[in-house]
Amino acid sequence: MKIVNVTATSHQVPTSLPHIDAPQRPMGVVVVRVETDAGITGFGMAPGNRLRGPIKELINTDLAEQLKDQDPLDTERLWKQLFAGFSRFGAAGLVSTSLSAVDIAMWDIKGKAFGHPVHRLLGGASDSAPAYATFGFFDYDREGLAAMAMELVGQGFDAMKMVVGSGNALDLDEDVRRIAGVREAVGPSVRLMIDANLLFDYQRALALAKRVEELNITWFEEPLVANDVNLMRDLRHATSIPIAAGQFEGTKTRHRELVQQGAVDFLHANVFYVGGYTEALKVAHLAQIYNLPYASAGGWPHHNMQLIAGIGGWGVEVHMSTWVAGETIFKDAPKPEGGKIMMPDAPGVGLTFNEDALKEYLET
């Protein structure tokens, strides 16, 4: 089997948040099609709120040229070839995100060619993925936040995550009030995580951690600017709250640093940023080697759930905004029920794009 064509298109997909009337910024995505001489087409995707133009351009030019006439089943060889050609220009960001999109498409081809869902090719540990909800955005006031948390509990979620710091990075008291309000609403048994999205310096992160330790926080995610490995290790030793990081890191080597330097209790990766399934599987195995829980973060559960099911991971993130966007661009995507997502039975990734929606939201 040979690759005959690689194309990428960019789209601006509308999204929304439950019970929020204010319009949300559309979600940018780059959709990749890898066509073969066997008549099998693989589909991949990359997030594109930033850099979707350069991502599309890199895929349509350099990556497409490198992939033409190659066998898409050789995912390991092609990943190494592409990474070797572009790593000198930056191992993360634009390069790894673009590589992720084409790698996902090739795994889609592999599953279709072998007649198996991708989650089975990735290990087949389970036919479902545990799911946790990310809901705690600053669009919600404290009362709305608590009400949304209770609604999620009613939907079967027993784990959920809220954002801290984004409304006002200096308003420590408001962060504490919001976290405490959610904990009071959902009770002690629901796992509750907080996420600073790389926003805080060490002193700010430590101050918040100390204030909410008694609220039984499952993890404090990406608490520090740039995922500073040394300072995260110090923070981990200074608080009883477990530390999680890795969702925006490109390639396994940065994840190795997080683990070997003792900076994390939970290891995260996202197949859209780390280099697709080929590289994310290595990160998941790294977590297993060190007996660390592995979870997805960074949104877009539709492509991350396959790896979580495949390796028996801790959970896939159902990020509200990206989930709603996915409901628009995918046909009949599986939905979370009872705190988990059942995997599609169809060969490949198991997702079908809504071509009408892609045309409607196409950027030219």
- 209 and 277 part of one domain: yes
280-300 per-residue burial string, b: 16 or more CB within 10 A, e: under 16:
bbbbbebbeeeebbbbbbbbb
pLDDT, tens only, 100-131: 999 999 999 999 999 999 999 999 999 999 99
- 80 and 190 part of one domain: no
Last residue of a domain, one of 90, 115, 140: 115
- 134 and 107 part of one domain: no
- 171 and 245 part of one domain: yes
Strands 41-47 and 27-36: antiparallel
Indicate whether 43 belongs to any domain: yes
Residues contacting 224, CB < 8 A, separation 6+: 196, 198, 200, 201, 202, 205, 231, 232, 235
Indicate whether 361 belongs to any domain: no
Indicate whether 364 belongs to any domain: no
- 306 and 227 part of one domain: yes
- 240 and 271 part of one domain: yes
pLDDT of residue 50: 87
pLDDT of residue 167: 64
pLDDT of residue 86: 87
Indicate whether 223 belongs to any domain: yes
| CB-CB contact of 182 with 136 (8 Å) | yes
Indicate whether 359 belongs to any domain: no
Indicate whether 358 belongs to any domain: no
Last residue of a domain, one of 115, 135, 153: 115
Residue whose structure tokens are 């059942």: 342
- 90 and 195 part of one domain: no
Residues contacting 119, CB < 8 A, separation 6+: 126, 127, 129, 305, 306, 307, 309, 310, 343
- 10 and 154 part of one domain: no
pLDDT by residue for the chain (364 residues), tens only, comes to: 999 999 999 999 999 999 999 989 999 999 999 999 999 999 999 999 989 999 999 999 999 999 999 999 999 999 999 999 988 887 789 999 999 999 999 999 999 999 999 999 999 999 999 999 999 999 999 999 999 999 999 999 999 999 999 766 569 999 999 999 999 999 999 999 999 999 999 999 999 999 999 999 999 999 999 999 999 999 999 999 999 999 999 999 999 999 999 999 999 999 999 999 999 999 999 999 999 999 999 999 999 999 999 999 999 999 999 999 999 999 999 999 999 999 999 999 999 999 999 999 999 8
Last residue of a domain, one of 91, 115, 139: 115
Strands 128-136 and 340-342: antiparallel
Indicate whether 84 belongs to any domain: yes
| Structure-derived torsion over alpha carbons of residues 257, 106, 100, 267, reported in degrees to the nearest 10 | -40
- Strands of the 27-36 sheet, one edge to the other: 3-13, 27-36, 41-47
Q: What is the CATH number of the domain that holds 223?
A: 3.20.20.120
User: Domain total for the chain?
Assistant: 2
**Rounded to an integer, what distance in angstroms lies between the CA atom of residue 346 and that of residue 129?**
16
**Rounded to an integer, what distance in angstroms lies between the CA atom of residue 150 and that of residue 148?**
5
| CB-CB contact of 65 with 80 (8 Å) | no
- 260 and 129 part of one domain: yes
Q: Which domain holds residue 100?
A: 3-115
Indicate whether 360 belongs to any domain: no
- 61 and 124 part of one domain: no
